[in-house]
Amino acid sequence: MGEIKKDMVEMKEAPEGYEGRGFFATKLDSVIGMARSNSLWPLPFATSCCGIEFMATASTNYDLARFGMERMSFSPRQADLLMVMGTIAKKMGPILKQVYDQMAEPKWVISVGACASSGGIFDTYSVLQGIDNVIPVDVYVPGCPPRPEQILEGVMKIQELAKSESLRRRNSDEYKRMLEGYNIEVSK
Amino acid sequence: MEQKYSTIIDSIKVKHPDAIISAEQLYDIPCIHVNKEYMKALVMDLKNNFGFNFLTDLTVIHYPDNKGNELCGSYLFHNWVDNVRLRMKVFISTEDNHLPSLVGAYKAANWLEREAFDNFGIKYDEHPDLRRILNMDEMDYHPLLKQYALEDESRRDKDDTFFGR
């Protein structure tokens, strides 16, 4: 068994704080933010070609796992990040909303591709014109479909959000008002 | 081949003189234009005695300018044994948008008729379960009728300044 080559492994920087011999002190927010951002469990909600791009993103060539988002969760109860990839028909809207409802806080949403973000080329009676009519979205990834690099970039933006988010944000009145704006029941 | 088709049209015409309004040969498919009143009996005969055992497709076409005959029910049958296809058209008006259901003859007609009802609002009499199949249940119109816009009405980003519409 060889020694781990330290220069081959990218270590995450510790958050800002005070350190001395045998102790390190920092804010709880920063530590939890760091932990959350590097262990996001995504729920892939893939309905069309963007989902195929996502499969490429998750497999060997692009390897989402390198960034600490390896574990796909196929149950919304255990997921932190809802990845909506593909055209969402109006009939699918309530189902998407239910999946979002079932996720526990804190939760993030990424809208991948033109269809999920705006309806895309499907400007028609049967297609939801952007999932942000139904649920709040944190990051939009443009493209039709976007390349795996773009999806990676989008997820890394979510990591930035998770890292810098205040622990109190989800309890704030502003956040509750935002959810009520989407007619989503605020969890106690 | 040509011979076979004209024979089929002729024998249908002889057997159902009231049902057939007109008949023609379009490319390699014989087409019959039929009377709604006699349609059900004709279809049963096509299935049982002319060998059209398979309903390939069933749909509706909307011709809003064709006054009195705005809606056209279009059927495509296939005889697997002789490899012959047959197209059947029946015209109805918007006011009386009822057609006889073919579910009794072909099971495949069940979902196809639900789809035609969903998109065009055609009422198929005696259909066992006539409700929407593709669009959401809350939808209050039949979207493929030409008086309704194809594009989604809820878009707010369509500014003529930017898109030159």
Q: What is the CATH number of the domain that holds A102?
A: 3.40.50.12280
Closest residue in A to B133 (Cα) is: A91
Per-residue pLDDT averaged across A136-142, rounded? 95
Question: Taking CB atoms and an 8 Å cutoff, what residues of chain A touch B150?
Answer: 124-125
Going by their DSSP bridges, the two strands B84-92 and B71-79 should be labelled as antiparallel
Q: Is the dihedral of CA A63, A64, A69, A73 positive or negative?
A: negative
Using alpha carbons only, what angle is made at residue A36 by residues A18 and A60, rounded to the nearest 5 degrees? Answer: 120
**A126: closest chain B residue by CA:** B135
Q: How many angstroms separate the CA of residue A132 from the nearest CA in chain B?
A: 12
What tokens does A32 get? 């939890």
Per-residue pLDDT at A14: 83
| Residue A24 within a domain | no
d(CA B132, CA B61): 18
What would the mean pLDDT of A100-118 be, rounded to a whole number? 93
Task: Please give the average per-residue pLDDT across B45-56, as a whole number.
Answer: 92
pLDDT at B9: 86
Percent of chain B with pLDDT over 90: 61
- Whether residue A180 lies inside any domain: the answer is no
> Who has greater pLDDT, A10 or A18?
A18
Q: Do B152 and A91 touch (CB under 8 A)?
A: no
Write the DSSP symbol of residue B158: -
Q: Does A133 touch chain B (CB under 8 A)?
A: yes
Q: What value does the mean pLDDT of chain A take?
A: 89
State the nearest Cα–Cα gap between B40 and chain A, in angstroms. Answer: 33
Decide if B151 and A123 are in contact by the 8 Å CB cutoff. Answer: yes
Quote the ipTM score.
Answer: 0.76
Give the CATH number, domain containing residue B55.
3.30.460.80
Name the residue in chain B with its Cα closest to that of A122.
Answer: B151
In a domain? residue B129? no
The burial class, CB within 10 Å (0-12 / 13-18 / 19+), for B54 is: middle
Q: Is B146 on the interface with A (CB under 8 A)?
A: no
B155 is a domain residue: no
Taking a C-beta distance cutoff of 8 angstroms, is the pair A125, B143 a contact?
Answer: yes
The mean per-residue pLDDT over the stretch A6-25 comes to 83
**The pLDDT of residue B164:** 60
B160 confidence band (pLDDT: 50, 70, 90): low
Q: pLDDT tens digits, residue range A150-185?
A: 999 999 999 999 998 888 888 888 888 888 888 888
Q: Does residue A29 register a pLDDT over 70?
A: yes
Dump the DSSP string for A37-105: HTS--EEEEE-SHHHHHHHHHHSTTT-GGGGT-----SSGGG-SEEEEES--BGGGHHHHHHHHHHSPS
Burial profile B118-154: b = 16 or more Cβ within 10 angstroms, e = fewer: bbbbbebeebeebebbebeeeeeebbbbeeeeeebee
Q: B155, A91: Cβ pair inside 8 Å?
A: no
Average pLDDT over residues B34-41: 92
CA A76 – CA A41 distance, rounded (Å): 10
What distance in Å separates residue B148's CA from the closest CA in chain A?
9
**CA dist., res. A107 & res. A99, Å (int):** 11
Interchain contact B151–A (C-beta under 8 A): yes
Residue B57 has pLDDT above 70, yes or no: yes
- Cβ distance B143 to A123 less than 8 Å, yes or no, reads no
Q: Strand B84-92's sheet: what is its strand order?
A: B20-26, B29-34, B84-92, B71-79, B54-62
Q: Write down the pLDDT at residue B161.
A: 67
Structural domain includes residue B8: yes
Q: How many domains does chain A have?
A: 1
Residue A65 located in a structural domain: yes
Closest CA to B109 of B97, B118, B101, B117: B101
> How many residue pairs bridge chain A and chain B with CB atoms within 8 Å of each other?
29
What pLDDT, on the 0 to 100 scale, is given for residue A4?
Answer: 66
What residue in A sits closest to B155 (Cα-Cα)? A129
Contact A125 B136 (CB under 8 A): no
Q: A134 touching B, CB under 8 A?
A: no
pLDDT at A64: 87
Please check whether residue A23 lies inside any domain of the structure: no
C-beta atoms surrounding A93 within 10 Å: 17
Q: Is B77 helix (H, G, I), strand (E, B) or coil?
A: strand
Whether A183 is in a domain gets the answer no
- Secondary-structure percent of chain A, ordered helix, strand, coil, rounded to 5: 45, 15, 40
Q: Is the pLDDT of residue A20 over 80?
A: yes
The parent domain of residue B57 ranges over: 2-109
Residue A49 structural domain: 29-164
Tens digit of each residue's pLDDT (9 = 90 or more) over B60-112: 999 999 998 999 999 999 999 988 899 999 999 999 999 999 999 999 999 99
The whole-number pLDDT of residue B1 equals: 54
Mean pLDDT, residues A9-38: 88
Distance CA B105, CA B127 (A): 11
**Residue A184 lies inside a defined structural domain of this protein:** no
Q: Chain A partners of B149 at a C-beta cutoff of 8 Å?
A: 125
Question: What pLDDT shows up at residue A6?
Answer: 67
Q: Tell me what pLDDT residue A1 has.
A: 53
pLDDT tens string A60-107 = 999 888 887 878 889 999 999 999 999 999 999 999 999 999 999 899
> Looking at the domain assignment, is residue A169 inside a domain?
no
